[in-house]
Each structure stands twice: as C-alpha cells, then as structure tokens.
C-alpha cells in the first residue's frame, strides 16, 4: 500500500512510450479533473540522452573537476559508463501528466562533495544531479543550492592581540562602528529621542507632495515614519554627534527642513509590488530571475530588501492564508495500483504465431547488453529490422536508467585495432589527393569536397561467418540489394553455434592476389581512349550551303542517333579509332562538347566515352556486360565489330542559283 501511494514532492517514473525509457519527474501538485481523473503537475528532469553532444561534453568536464576536487576513488570503465545513467539535470520546466502513467518511485539528491559516486551504483532507483538544464536556452549551469563545504569556504580568524600590542591593520578596510553600547545616555533619553525622530519623520511626510498622495491619512504617515529606516537614522545621528542630544536634535531638523527617510516599501509603487508578487508566484525566491524577467530597473539589493519588508505586511499574511486554503482543497496523495499489463515489445516464446508481439525472431540471438543467451523473457529493442533484443534484467535497466549496462560502439566503446599504414582514417578526397596521378590543381579541388565515407572494418569472426552462415547471409542477394540492412549480430550468434559443430579440417580459402593501386591506375590510364587530334594544316572541304543551314544548331545539345554518333559507313582501324572522314555529313550538327569539372568527379582519373567506346559496348552480350560490371578490375577482351569497308562516295552539293559549286577550303 505504501509503495503505491504517491505524494507531493516524490520523485517518480513516468512512462510515455512502451519502448522508450521512463521519464523522471518530481510531483508538485495533484489535481482532479472534471471527468474524475487525476493529473500531476511535475517538474522535468532530463537525462544525458536528452541533451546535445556539446552539453554532454560540458557535463563530462564538470564531472572531471568534481572528481579532482573531491578526490573520488577510481572506478572502472563500466562503472563510469553506468554513472552517466545515474546523472540527471534539473530544470524549471513544468508539465501535466496523467497519474495513471506513474510506474514507481525513485530517489534524486543533490550531489555533494562529501558523496562517493560509486555508492549510487549500489542502490536501486537512485539518481543525483549537480547542473541545471534550460530547455529554451539550451544551457547547463551550476545549481545555486550547492552546499559549500571545505576549508576554502571558511573564514580565517586572526589571533587575538596581546595587551599593549598595536593593531597594524588598515582601518579603512575594517568595519565602521555605528553604535556604542557604553554611551553616556540612559535608555529613557534614547527612547525620547526616537519619539522625536518619528514625529519629525511624520511632519516631513506631510510636507512632501508624493508622500501625501501615497499616505493620505495621518495614521498611514505615522506608520511609515515608525519603520526601521527612521530608527536607524536616529541612532546613526546620535553616534555621529557623540551622543549629544542638543547637536542630534539640530541635525534632525537642518536649516532647509526636516530630513525624510524612506525605505523600499515607500519607494516602490503599487504596480511594481503587483509585478513582484506575480514573479514570486512563478519563480519563488529566485531573485535573479525575478529581476531579469519582471523588474530589470531594480537592483538586486532593492528586491531582497523589499521581499523581507513585504513579509511583514498584511498582504503576505493574506496570501499565505489563501495558499493554505488552496492546498487543503487539493489532493495530498494518490494511490496508483501496480501496472501489470504486458509490454508490446515482449517477445512471445516459441510456438506462438509469427509476427505477433515480436514473435518470429531468429534463434541464437544474444542480449545486446549482457550478451547472455538464456533469459526467462525477451524484449525487442531498437529498430524492428535489426531484430535486436534484451533480456529481462537488461530491459528493466534500460527502462529505468535509459542505457545499456555495457558500452557499445555507438556510445563510445573502443573499436578494434586497425591495420598499420591504413588510409581508413582519411576521407575520400584526402585519400585521392595522395595519388601520384592527381595534379596540384585537382588535389586542391578534391580536398575541398565535403563528402563523408562509410568505412567497413571486418573482423576475423565476420569473415568466418560469411562462409559458415552462407545460407542465412545470402551474399549474392545482399550484393544486389546493398540498401537492405543485415543483422550482423544474428549471423555472428549463429556462427558461434555452428562453429564447434563444424569440421576440424580447415576451409580451403584461395587467396586473391590483388595488384597495387598505382599499377591499376597506370593500366587504366594507358587503356583510356584519347581524343584524336586533327593534324594542323589539313584541309576540310565544307559546302557553303551546309554552313548556312546549320548555323542555328551549333550551340544546341540534341539527342543524336547511333548512326550519327558511330558514323555509319566509316571503317574502323586496328586500334578501334575510325579512319579520317572526308566530308562531314549534313545531318550531323556541330554540337558543343560539355566540359567535366574535376571537382565533381568521384575519382581523380576521368574517362570520357567516345563513339568508338559506345560502338564496342553494342558488340557485348548481356552476360558479358553483367560480368564486366561485377569485376571491373579484370581486363575485357572484345573483338571490334567487322564493318565492310566501302569507298567514300563524294557528296554532290545541291544546285542553288545564289551559290557556287566550287568547294570552299578552310585551314584549321
């Protein structure tokens, strides 16, 4: 009964999703809605997973400073990982949640320098906080409620001076004496002087126009003159005049008129007092936020003085009574029964219908946190296509603390060692810039590219699982569908089960000798088709009529037919290049060639397909084309197409009355 009874001020777990961790909240109010349900007004506390990575780095530096100052005992990496799950960040954000979503109690305390961090791991449902998170400004600040314990926060008391020893300290930096209890005046004389000071203060308020408006009656003026500010001024006057009543009387009423002393209650207007009460209702006694958001024109000392004077007024007493009556009408506690409904992420045991509540998971999967293979109950965790799961104890840990017991690679675990002289740490443009075939101009452009590269580092177990679990992996199908995810953990778990049952004879693995990158690039450069250069001085006869007709098509990129690109009727030479043509066809427009930008190319070596290359592609069968695409590193043996050599037929220019039949010779 007591465990299920929740009161105002308790720290509790709230569940907003069946797969996400619990929310840690502090109950501020319990309200009953119109339909009879109970809502809880709670204060939000955030985990490390709820804040950004930059704020996590700031929290890590704060934790290191705390460990150095408090001299914490050393902890292991796993304990340090679990301590991050116990750290929370307080906020001033409020929200209302249904009380039926409460899933249990927890304990949250302010971290003190005398605390030992490892003790929080020994207790269940125990958290700590030391920083305050602002969800709007996205900042982390130290909590103002910090308990300052230690020698650096204590005052150093000097030794007492001996008799006859002179005080060599700077008296200007010392305190100033404002009252002498061993004065020659009696208590009756001091009281009479204080009465005179109050009367002078009442008379001064009657002469002041602003005071007469604020205190229109004599009783209000007399009450204002009886405040502490008037008494402090009277006693200070006695101290400055050497407790001489005659001199003190003359000081109270100088030549210009009586002295008027006001405190913060008189200086503040009624509207400012209303703003202060509204701010006090919202922020409490956080005077910095009150000054920043409500009263920026007031000083912090003025706000603090007004608060303590405001507590002596009837207004404070009335508000205190109203709050007490409102608190009596609200709920003090609420009973929430234990939540017993099954979780949708629960995996049904073997024999259930596949596809329901996580059923249909592959056998041999281990827990993602503790890597155990035996558990009374399993729960689906993570993306559904990954088919990851947690055991019962790790699932409870995930729901309460928002993390796994052991660190993973995504959470900063140490990765496996890489091979020496590896370029895995370089980006793709940086690795390409190291190529000896990249010019300095292209190297600068490649380094300016901001593309990110996916790096796959395989282990021995992964390479072994590819051969042992070929039926589950289906490498040919996976190669055709590289976008489909592969559950590597399931395959490794199945491999660990099959490995002891496998034959003791080692598998025959044929090593594949690969050529170095420099040799492959040289071969590709040597085999790349070059743009044929027209020898200087050759004469190309052009018909004037053709030049006039095709003038408007010179700058338009049009789709050209195969016959146009390959040049029908033109024989091929031994090296795959066409022989020099005699006359340009009238159906072939002079299209502008598109220039490639080396910075946009994926590799530093650019291969431009020519019409001969396209013609050779037509000669390949579908099977040869697929085989070449799968193994681009192997040379391709293709026979050039046999085309009958025909003698060039001269084209006769059409007769036109305004043209001549004589060809115009242009030298290139």
pTM for the structure as a whole: 0.46
Element at 306 (helix H, strand E):
helix 300-310
> Facing residues of 127 across strands?
108
Angstrom distance (rounded) from CA 113 to CA 534: 85
- In the three-class reduction of DSSP (H, G, I as helix; E, B as strand; rest coil), residue 530 is classed as coil
pLDDT of residue 177: 82
The residue length of the chain stands at 668
Res 227: pLDDT: 78
Enter the tokens of residue 50: 């709820």
Tell me what pLDDT residue 91 has. Answer: 92
- pLDDT given for residue 282 in this prediction: 86
Q: Left if phi > 0, otherwise alpha if psi is -120 to 50, otherwise beta: which for 308?
A: alpha
Tell me the H-state helices in 410-543: 428-433, 440-447, 460-468, 470-473, 475-480, 488-498, 517-527
What is the residue whose two structure tokens read 């050209």?
Answer: 560
Cα gap 375→110, rounded to integer Å = 36
Tokens encoding 350: 């073997």
The predicted structure's pLDDT at residue 398: 93
Q: 639: which residues sit within 8 A by CB, 6+ positions away?
A: 619
Domains of the chain: 3-140 (2.30.30.490), 185-261 (4.10.1240.50), 268-331 (1.10.10.60), 365-405 (3.30.50), 458-502 (no CATH)
pLDDT computed for residue 481 by the predictor: 84
SS3 614: helix
pLDDT of residue 299: 92
Q: Using the structure block, give the residue that is written with the tokens 């391709």.
A: 636
User: What per-residue confidence (pLDDT) applies to 529?
Assistant: 57
Q: Tokens for 575, please give them.
A: 């090296």
Q: In angstroms, how far is the first alpha carbon of the chain from the final one?
A: 102
- Euclidean distance between CA atoms 592 and 450, whole angstroms: 31
8 Å CB contact between 258 and 252: yes
Q: In this structure, how many other beta carbons lie within 10 angstroms of the beta carbon of residue 427?
A: 17
Under a CB-based contact definition with an 8 Å cutoff, are residues 229 and 263 in contact? Answer: yes
CB count within 10 Å of CB 605 equals 15
* Residues with pLDDT less than 50, the chain: 350, 352-360, 410, 412-451, 537-538, 540-591, 601, 603, 645, 651-660, 668
């Amino acid at each position: 009964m007591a465990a299920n009874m929740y009161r105002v001020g308790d720290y509790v777990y709230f569940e907003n999703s069946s797969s996400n961790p619990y929310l840690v909240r502090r109950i501020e109010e319990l309200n009953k809605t119109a339909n009879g349900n109970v809502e809880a007004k709670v204060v939000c506390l955030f985990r490390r997973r709820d804040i950004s990575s930059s704020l996590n780095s700031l929290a890590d530096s704060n934790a290191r400073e705390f460990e150095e100052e408090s001299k914490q005992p050393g902890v292991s990496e796993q304990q340090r990982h679990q301590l991050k799950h116990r750290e929370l960040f307080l906020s001033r954000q409020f929200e209302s949640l249904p009380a039926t979503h409460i899933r249990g109690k927890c304990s949250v305390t302010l971290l003190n320098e005398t605390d030992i961090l490892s003790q929080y791991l020994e207790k269940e449902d125990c958290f700590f906080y030391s920083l305050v998170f602002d969800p709007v400004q996205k900042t982390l600040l130290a909590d103002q409620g910090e308990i300052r314990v230690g020698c650096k926060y204590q005052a150093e008391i000097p030794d007492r001076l001996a008799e006859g020893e002179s005080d060599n300290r700077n008296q200007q930096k010392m305190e100033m004496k404002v009252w002498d209890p061993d004065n020659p005046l009696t208590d009756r004389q001091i009281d009479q002087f204080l009465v005179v000071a109050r009367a002078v203060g009442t008379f001064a308020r009657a002469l002041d126009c602003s005071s007469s408006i604020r205190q229109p009656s004599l009783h209000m003026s007399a009450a204002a003159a009886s405040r502490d500010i008037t008494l402090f001024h009277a006693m200070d006057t006695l101290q400055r005049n050497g407790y001489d009543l005659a001199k003190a009387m003359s000081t109270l009423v100088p030549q210009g008129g009586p002295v008027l002393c006001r405190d913060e209650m008189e200086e503040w207007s009624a509207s400012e007092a209303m703003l202060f009460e509204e701010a006090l209702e919202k922020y409490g006694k956080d005077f910095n936020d009150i000054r920043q958001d409500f009263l920026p024109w007031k000083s912090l000392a003025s706000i603090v003085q007004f608060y303590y004077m405001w507590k002596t007024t009837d207004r404070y007493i009335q508000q205190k009574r109203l709050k007490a009556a409102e608190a009596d009408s609200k709920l003090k506690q609420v009973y929430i029964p234990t939540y017993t409904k099954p979780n949708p992420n629960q995996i049904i045991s073997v024999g259930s219908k596949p596809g329901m509540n996580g059923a249909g998971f592959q056998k041999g999967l281990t827990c993602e946190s503790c890597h155990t293979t035996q558990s009374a109950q399993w729960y689906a965790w993570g993306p559904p296509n990954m088919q990851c799961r947690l055991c019962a104890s790790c699932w409870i840990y995930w729901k309460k603390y928002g993390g796994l017991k052991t660190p993973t690679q995504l959470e900063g675990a140490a990765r496996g060692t890489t091979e020496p002289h590896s370029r895995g740490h370089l980006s793709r443009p940086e690795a390409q810039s190291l190529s000896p075939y990249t010019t300095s101009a292209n190297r600068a452009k490649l380094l300016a590219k901001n593309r990110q590269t996916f790096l796959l580092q395989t282990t021995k177990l992964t390479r072994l699982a590819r051969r042992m679990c070929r039926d589950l992996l289906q490498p040919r199908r996976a190669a055709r569908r590289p976008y489909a995810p592969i559950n590597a953990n399931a395959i490794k778990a199945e491999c660990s089960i099959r490995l002891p049952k496998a034959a003791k004879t080692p598998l025959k693995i044929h090593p594949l000798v690969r050529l170095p990158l420099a040799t492959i690039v040289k071969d590709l450069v040597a085999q790349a088709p070059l743009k044929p250069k027209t020898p200087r001085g050759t004469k190309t006869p052009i018909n004037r009529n053709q030049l006039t007709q095709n003038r408007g098509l010179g700058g338009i990129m049009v789709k050209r037919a195969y016959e146009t690109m390959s040049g029908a009727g033109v024989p091929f030479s031994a090296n795959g290049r066409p022989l020099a043509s005699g006359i340009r066809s009238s159906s072939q427009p002079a299209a502008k060639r598109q220039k490639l930008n080396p910075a946009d190319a994926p590799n530093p070596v650019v291969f431009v397909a020519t019409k001969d290359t396209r013609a050779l592609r037509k000669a390949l069968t579908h099977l040869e084309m697929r085989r070449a695409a799968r193994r681009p590193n192997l040379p391709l043996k293709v026979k050039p197409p046999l085309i009958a050599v025909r003698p060039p037929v001269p084209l006769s220019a059409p007769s036109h009355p305004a043209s001549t039949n004589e060809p115009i010779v242009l030298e290139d």
